[in-house]
Structure 1
């Protein structure tokens, strides 16, 4: 019984210390005006498909800022020219279609994004 009477205050003190808010345990305080704000979300979601020598990309922009997207194609053969497509502006809630091709096989394709 004495052991319980001795451990009870120690247990309560430990529980209170662990349940205290973070600000009470921390010595350093950060001013709320000094917190860095999150940047606005940006960038279209693009889906690229390759069929033989043809490339098609659909880019959908779910955000408020306009996204200038460009399709880049890398051709497989050394004599086949790699291409950078014409930029297209994907406005808010817009979907744009980008196309391009190589003479023969396509090694890779990707879309670049630029904030307008």
Structure 2
């Protein structure tokens, strides 16, 4: 099978067009990438006690809060007040339930500049 002289360049151009990354094809400016931020938190649950250790390795300030959902229906779920984690700082958050803990997580709040 022999291709004509017009088909081969057209096929090559279409192949390049579809294999180039989207940013190279579009005329729009690429979006600015956000610098990484936010504290990394590790949560330890021991039956009714919860402790979260948050370390902020970035040069921006992060605000974290600990949320605890208790297993029993009559046990009150708790949310801690947001605390500030400064750059290169480690912060510990503690909480508890009367009986068992169902789940716990840490939320991050952006601090206004």
Query: Structure 2 length as normaliser, TM-score?
Result: 0.74
Shift of 1:94: 0.7
Give the number of the structure whose alpha-carbon radius of gyration is greater.
1
Gaps of 5+ in 1: 1-16
Establish whether residue 72 from structure 1 lines up as the match of residue 67 from structure 2. yes
CA contact (8 A) 1:75 1:108 kept: yes
- CA RMSD across the alignment: 2.8
Which structure carries more helix by proportion? 1
CA contact (8 A) 1:43 1:63 kept: yes
Dislocated runs of 4+, deviation >6 Å: none
Shift of 1:30: 3.2
Q: How many Å separate the matches in 1 of 2:95 and 2:76?
A: 12
CA contact (8 A) 1:44 1:90 kept: yes
Aligned with residue 37 of structure 2, among 25, 38, 42: 42
Task: Provide the secondary structure at the position in 2 that maps to 1:103.
Answer: coil
Which residue is 1:30 aligned to? 27
Task: Provide the secondary structure at the position in 1 that maps to 2:90.
Answer: strand
Query: Structure 1 length as normaliser, TM-score?
Result: 0.72
Name the CA shift for 1:31/1:103 in 2 (closer, same or farther; >3 Å). closer
User: What is the total number of aligned residue pairs between the two structures?
Assistant: 106
Q: How many Å separate the matches in 2 of 1:79 and 1:31?
A: 55
Gaps of 5+ in 2: 1-12
Deviations 1:62-101 (A, max 9, x none): 1111110000000000000000012110011111000000
Shift of 1:43: 1.1
Q: How many Å separate the matches in 1 of 2:109 and 2:52?
A: 16
